[in-house]
A and B are shown apart, each in its own frame.
Chain A
Amino acid sequence: MQFSSIHHFVCRLVSVAIISTGFVQISGAGVIGTQQMIDSEARQKQLSRVESFLLRQDVADQLIDFGVAPEMVMARIQHMTSAELAALEGKIGEQVAGGDALAIIGTVFLVLLILELVGVTDIFKSI
């Protein structure tokens, strides 16, 4: 337990270090990027540098929580746009993840229901 929380802390620390150094700014200072131009015409909110850093940090932490190796995190998020990162902020748990996994509780419920209907179980009737 002790080890696990230290491990977790170190992972986070590593991810902060990677993200602080790894982010490449494409346009020079003051140049208005194409995405920024499209967004401002669509009246979408512009992210400040600090906001966009925090956004990356949030998504990186979540990816680590969901089992991604810290050294892979930067490579995974650097190809995401700000809008994509914003959509994932605090929400990876709720995202659809294609992977064929079945929701077990739902299956158990269905089986029980069928068993109930053919008369094998009696769980849902109360007398």
Chain B
Amino acid sequence: MNQAARKGLANLCIRASAVLVLFIVGSLSGCASLPQDAQQYGDGATPIELSETPFFPQERYQCGPAALMTVLTQSGVNTTLDSIVEQVYLPGKQGSLQMELMAATRASSRMPYQIDTSLSAIVGELQAGRPVLVLQNLGVGWIPRWHYAVVIGADPINDTVTLRSGTNRRRITNTQTFLRTWRRSGYWALVALQPGELPAGPDASRYFQAIAALESTGHVLEARSGWQAALDRWPDEPVAMFGLANVELALDNFTSAEDLYRQLLDKNPNSVSARNNLAHALARQGKNTEAMQQILVALDTVKDDAVMQAELQDSMAEIQQIALSENK
């Protein structure tokens, strides 16, 4: 290689290094600016800290169990850290999955609810007395260090948030830094709600999904409290009425289920799901003829919907079965 080429190559290396340094400094400081609405504390927010929140210092790689234990205990659940570790720690990943934290929250009869993706949503929960479990990436995108912690305080005057984090009982972090680490997880934040408790700024559809998830995983009584709270907040909401009716049916409260399905059908006569389930509520009370009539009415409205037709035919078979067993 001649002298000129050597010099050119050296020059190129220096330039490449300079670009790399800029890139590293840029990504380490997270220089992309944070969206304005994500960093507001909320109207009239004052410094707040839930100092009575319990603290469970984490073992190696076990920030997930420790953080979940913190919010569950604060929500009145009586459990042990060992039991939570058994439910959410994944040895092969040296960590815990978000979905397993949600499942374990349900296992403790609490409702996992993902709050809005903003600082003011966290502050709102703190004001309601609930600490917030967050997922942070303490590293950067290409050297990730995923970490669960619990926000217990926020101070708009000093611009800090306070966390139960790792082995640190009171970790005080600059709010901008916290928001950058939180943003890398897509602002993932969870509260553990007691059955029937509403989040500070509830999103109806997300709240309904959270209750339906409890119902479909077998937590029927918790779901009932949830649907009742939903109906108090959003009266006449068809999803909530349907949900409560289903829970009553699952609990063998046939007449109250029947009432709720009928109320729903008064408002929305074309709801095939409600009519199908009304037929079940009737059949379980021995009103088989009436149940069959409801199925026939429903079948009439879904001529173009093969899936619903199949559902209704299943129901018809089920009702005939009930009728047969009664006649024996």
Interface, chain A (partner B; CB < 8 A): 24, 26-38, 40, 46, 63, 65-68, 72, 75-82, 84, 87-88, 92, 95-103, 106-107, 110, 113, 116-117, 124-125, 127
Q: Is the CB of A30 within 8 A of B314?
A: yes
Q: Is the CB of B318 within 8 A of A66?
A: no
| Contact A84-B102, Cβ < 8 Å, known A26-B218, A97-B95, A101-B61 | yes
Q: Select which of A65, A95, A127 is within 8 A of B97 by beta carbon.
A: A95
Assembly CA distance A65 to B216 (angstroms)? 27
Interface, chain B (partner A; CB < 8 A): 1, 6, 9-10, 13, 17, 20-21, 24, 60-64, 86-88, 90-100, 102-104, 106-107, 135, 138-139, 142-148, 166, 185, 208-209, 211-213, 215-218, 220, 239, 242-243, 246, 249-250, 273, 276-277, 280, 307, 311, 314-315, 317-319
Q: Is the CB of B220 within 8 A of A26?
A: yes
Q: Is the CB of B276 within 8 A of A95?
A: no
Assembly CA distance A29 to B318 (angstroms)? 7
| Contact A95-B215, Cβ < 8 Å, known A87-B99, A100-B61, A113-B20 | no
Contact residues in A for B63 (Cβ distance below 8 Å): 98-100
| Contact A68-B90, Cβ < 8 Å, known A29-B318, A30-B280, A113-B24 | yes
Q: Is the CB of B242 within 8 A of A34?
A: yes
Assembly CA distance A34 to B217 (angstroms)? 12
Contact residues in A for B100 (Cβ distance below 8 Å): 76, 80
Q: Select which of B87, B95, B242 is within 8 A of A99 by beta carbon.
A: B95
Assembly CA distance A30 to B93 (angstroms)? 40
| B309 vs chain A, min Cβ distance (A) | 13
Q: Using a Cβ cutoff of 8 Å, how many contacts connect chains A and B?
A: 184
| Contact A34-B243, Cβ < 8 Å, known A79-B103, A81-B216, A127-B6 | yes
Q: Select which of A28, A77, A97 is within 8 A of B93 by beta carbon.
A: A97
Contact residues in A for B13 (Cβ distance below 8 Å): 124-125
- In the A-B complex, list the 7 residue pairs whose CB atoms are closest, starting with the nearest: A99-B95, A97-B95, A66-B92, A67-B91, A106-B143, A97-B93, A79-B103
| Contact A81-B213, Cβ < 8 Å, known A88-B97, A101-B145, A113-B20 | yes
Q: Is the CB of A97 within 8 A of B106?
A: no
| A73 vs chain B, min Cβ distance (A) | 11
Q: Is the CB of A96 within 8 A of B146?
A: yes
| Contact A79-B106, Cβ < 8 Å, known A66-B92, A96-B98, A99-B64 | yes
| A108 vs chain B, min Cβ distance (A) | 10
Contact residues in A for B166 (Cβ distance below 8 Å): 100
Q: Is the CB of A66 within 8 A of B142?
A: no
Contact residues in B for A97 (Cβ distance below 8 Å): 64, 90, 93-97, 146
| A30 vs chain B, min Cβ distance (A) | 4
Closest to A87 in B: B99
Contact residues in B for A127 (Cβ distance below 8 Å): 1, 6, 9
Assembly CA distance A65 to B93 (angstroms)? 10
Q: Is the CB of B103 within 8 A of A28?
A: no
Contact residues in B for A103 (Cβ distance below 8 Å): 139, 143-144
| Contact A35-B87, Cβ < 8 Å, known A79-B106, A102-B139 | no
Contact residues in B for A124 (Cβ distance below 8 Å): 13
| B263 vs chain A, min Cβ distance (A) | 16
| B251 vs chain A, min Cβ distance (A) | 11
Closest to B100 in A: A76
Q: Select which of A63, A82, A87, A107 is within 8 A of B216 by beta carbon.
A: A82
5 contacts between A and B (CB under 8 A): A76-B104, A81-B213, A88-B97, A96-B135, A100-B60
Assembly CA distance A4 to B200 (angstroms)? 50
Contact residues in B for A95 (Cβ distance below 8 Å): 93, 97-99
| A123 vs chain B, min Cβ distance (A) | 12
| Contact A98-B143, Cβ < 8 Å, known A32-B277, A34-B216 | no
* Interface contacts beyond A31-B246, A110-B143: sample of 10 additional A-B pairs, CB < 8 Å, sorted by A: A38-B239, A72-B86, A76-B104, A77-B103, A92-B93, A95-B99, A98-B146, A100-B146, A124-B13, A127-B9
